[in-house]
Amino acid sequence: MSNTHKGWGGARKGAGRKQGTKNPRTIAANEAARLLPHADDPKQWLLVLMRDPRQDLRLRLEAAGILMPYFHARRG
């Protein structure tokens, strides 16, 4: 049985995203990476991240939790 409907399915000329255009997920990842702090020391990097008001609050709280043992002794 042959396909009598020409042009159905398959690649079509001019369809899809243009070559070299970034998809929305890549654009969002690049934007997020641009906002991340720059520091050589991981501890310093987390401190800068925690104090940066441009960052998501959840990310800042997670950084604070990771840093807790470095600044406060455990009670017990």
Predicted confidence (pLDDT) per residue in 2-59, tens digit: 555 566 777 788 887 788 888 888 887 788 778 777 788 999 989 988 998 988 899 8
Residue 11 lies in a domain: no
Residue 1 lies in a domain: no
Where are the extended beta strands (E) located within 1-76? Answer: none
- In this prediction the pTM is 0.55
Residue 23 lies in a domain: no
Residue 66 lies in a domain: yes
- Give the pLDDT of residue 2: 54
Residue 64 lies in a domain: yes
Q: Residue 45 burial (CB < 10 Å; 0-12/13-18/19+)?
A: middle
Q: Is the pLDDT of residue 62 over 90?
A: yes
From the list 30, 70, 31, 29, the residue with the least C-alpha distance to 47 is 70
- Give the pLDDT of residue 5: 58
Structural domains of the chain, count:
1
Structural domain range at position 70: 39-76
Residue 27 lies in a domain: no
Residue 26 lies in a domain: no
- Give the pLDDT of residue 12: 80
